[in-house]
Structure 1
Amino acid sequence: MEVEAAIDLKQMQQSAENASQFLRSLANRDRLMLLCHLTEGEACVGDLEALTGIRQPSLSQQLGVLRREGLIEPRKQGKNVYYRIASDNVRAMLAQLYLMFCSQETGNER
C-alpha cells in the first residue's frame, strides 16, 4: 500500500508540475491575446501585430514562448510564418477563460 501511495504522490507531483508550467505559459496578457486571436484560426505575424497592437520585438518574443511551450505551431508559407493553436487542451482552457472573463453572460465578474 505504501509503495502505491508513493507512486501516486510522484504522479500527482508530476501532474502538478505540468499544470503549473502550462498556467505560467498562459499567465501573460500579450500571450493570452495572441492565443485568443488564434482561436479564430491561423494567422501570420503581420496579422497578429495588427489585431493585437503588440509590436516587434515583443510579439516575436511572446510567439517564441508559446512555440517553445508547445501551445502554438508554426507553418511557413513563402516568406510568411503562420501560427495556429497546437492542442485541444489549449482550446479548452481558452474557452473556459472566455466564459469566465469575456462573455456577455458573465458581465466580466470575478
Structure 2
Amino acid sequence: MGLIDEMPPKADAAADFLKGLSNPDRLLILCALSQGERNVTDLIETTGIAQSSMSQHLAKLKTEGIVASRRDHRKLYYVLAHPAARAVMKVLYEHFCKKRG
C-alpha cells in the first residue's frame, strides 16, 4: 500500500479539476488571478476576453470551486480559491505567463 492507493477514488475529481483549467480563455483569467484579486472590468481589459464570454468562464470557474467572488458595491472581484489551482497557476505563471526580460 503506497500513496498511489489514494488516487483511484480521487482520479475523477482531479480530471474534472484539470478540465476546468484546460481552456485558453480560462487560463488567461487564472493567469491574471494568480497575481491577486481582480475585478471583472480589470480581467476583461487584461485578457481581451469579451464580457459575455468572461461571465461564462467565471461562472464555470466559480461552479468548479476554482475561483471565489465578492461584491464591493457595484463591482465583482474574483480570486483564486482552490489551493491546487493556486499551486498549479504558480508553476504555469513562471513558465507561460511571466514576462521574460
Report sequence identity in percent: 42
2:59 matched to which residue of 1? 64
Task: Give the C-alpha shift of residue 87 in structure 1.
Answer: 2.6
Give per-residue Cα distances to partners, 1:1-59, cap 9 Å, x unaligned. xxx9xxx5xx5332110110010000000001001101111111111000000002100
- 1:48-106, CA deviations, whole angstroms, 9 ceiling, x for partnerless residues? 000000002100000001000000000000011100010321111112223444565xx
TM-score by length of 1: 0.78
- More contact order relative to length (CA 8 Å, sep ≥ 6): 2
Aligned residues: 96
Q: Please, which runs of 5 or more residues in structure 2 have no aligned partner? A: none
Over the residues paired in the alignment, what is the CA RMSD in angstroms? 1.7
Corresponding residue number in structure 1 for 2:14 = 19
Counterpart-to-counterpart distance in 1, 2:28 and 2:38: 13
Shift in CA distance, 68/37, structure 1 to aligned 2, threshold 3 Å: same
Superposition TM-score, scaled by structure 2 size: 0.85
Q: Distance between the aligned counterparts of 1:93 and 1:28, measured in 2?
A: 14
Point out 4+ residue stretches in structure 1 off by more than 4 angstroms.
Answer: none
Deviating more after overlay: 46-55 vs 92-101? 92-101
Larger Rg: 1
1:107 is matched with which residue?
A: none
SS in 2 for 1:57: helix
